[in-house]
Chain A
Amino acid sequence: MRLTLVDNFIMPERLNPDLFDVHPHLGLTSLAAVVQPEGHQVSIYDPKREIRFGRRPYNAGFYEQAAEDILNTRPDAVGFTTLGCSFLFTVRVAELIRRREPEIPILLGGPHATMLDRRILEAYEQFDIIVRYEAEQTLLPLLARLENRQFDGIPGITWRTRDRGEIRSTPGLPLIENLDSLPIPLYDLYPVADLGLSLMRVEAGRGCPFNCTFCSTASFFQRSYRLKSPERLVHEMDLLHDRYAATEFKLDHDLFTVDHRKVRAFCEAVQDRQYRWRVSARTDCVSEELLEVMTLAGCIGLYFGIETGSERMQRISEKRLKLADATRIVALAESFGIESTVSFITGYPEEVREDQDATLDMLGEFFQRPESWCLPQLHILLPEPGTPMFAQHAHALAYDGYVTPYNARLLREDDLDHILAHRDFTRRIITIRPRCPEANTRSQSMRWTPCASQGTKS
Chain B
Amino acid sequence: MADPILLERWRCQPASIAASGDGCTGIDVAKLWQFSGLVTKVRYSDLRSNLPLTFRILDATGLSIELFATYAPRADALRKAGLNSKSAKLAALMKFLGDWLDRTKPLHALVWDMVRHESTIFEVQAVTAGVASDPAAISIDSVPVRSAGTVSHELTCNPIEVAKLVRAGGDLASIPREKRLFAYCASEAGAQIRFVELDALAEFLVGTADGTRTVTELAELLLQCGITLEPQDLVDSVRALVTAGLLDIVNTGA
Contacts and interface: CB of A to CB of B under 8 A. Distances in A.
Nearest to B184: A441
Interface stretch (A181-189, A223-231, A244-252, A448-456): A448-456
Interface string A362-392: 0010010000000000101000000000000
A450 B167 contact: no
A378 B199 contact: no
A61 to B, nearest CB: 12
B53 interface: yes
Interface string B159-189: 1100110011100000000000000000000
A437 B169 contact: no
A131 B42 CA distance: 39
Contacts, number: 127
Contacts of B198: 446
Contacts of A416: 167
A426 to B, nearest CB: 14
A443 B191 contact: no
What is the size category of the interface that chain B forms with chain A?
Answer: 35 or more
B240 A440 contact: no
B123 to A, nearest CB: 10
A438 B118 contact: yes
A447 B199 contact: yes
Contacts of A456: 226-228
Interface residues of A, number: 50
A322 interface: no
A441 B39 contact: no
B187 to A, nearest CB: 10
A142 B223 CA distance: 80
A102 B159 CA distance: 40
A380 B244 CA distance: 38
Given A14-B169, A413-B164, A444-B196, A438 B121 contact: yes
Secondary structure at the B interface, as helix, strand, loop or mixed, is helix
A444 B199 CA distance: 12
A457 interface: yes
Interface majority SS (helix, strand, loop, mixed), chain A: loop
B192 to A, nearest CB: 6
B195 A448 contact: no
B52 A440 contact: no
A435 B191 contact: yes
A403 interface: yes
Nearest to A13: B169
Contacts of B59: 405
Contact of A451 (B52, B167, B227): B227
Interface string B121-145: 1100100000000000000000000
Contacts of A443: 158-160, 195, 197
A380 B53 contact: no
Nearest to A437: B121
B202 A446 contact: yes
B93 interface: no
Interface in A391-446: 400-403, 405, 408-411, 413, 415-416, 433-438, 440-446
A346 interface: yes
A456 B226 CA distance: 6
Contacts of A15: 169
A261 B4 CA distance: 48
B60 interface: yes
A415 B167 contact: yes
Interface in B199-254: 199-202, 223, 226-229, 233, 236-237, 240, 244
Interface of B: 1, 31, 35, 38-39, 42-43, 45, 48-50, 52-53, 55-56, 59-60, 84, 118, 121-122, 125, 158-160, 163-164, 167-169, 191-202, 223, 226-229, 233, 236-237, 240, 244
The 4 closest A-B pairs by CB, nearest first: A401-B52, A443-B160, A437-B121, A410-B167
8 contacts: A360-B1, A367-B35, A410-B167, A416-B167, A438-B121, A444-B194, A446-B196, A448-B240
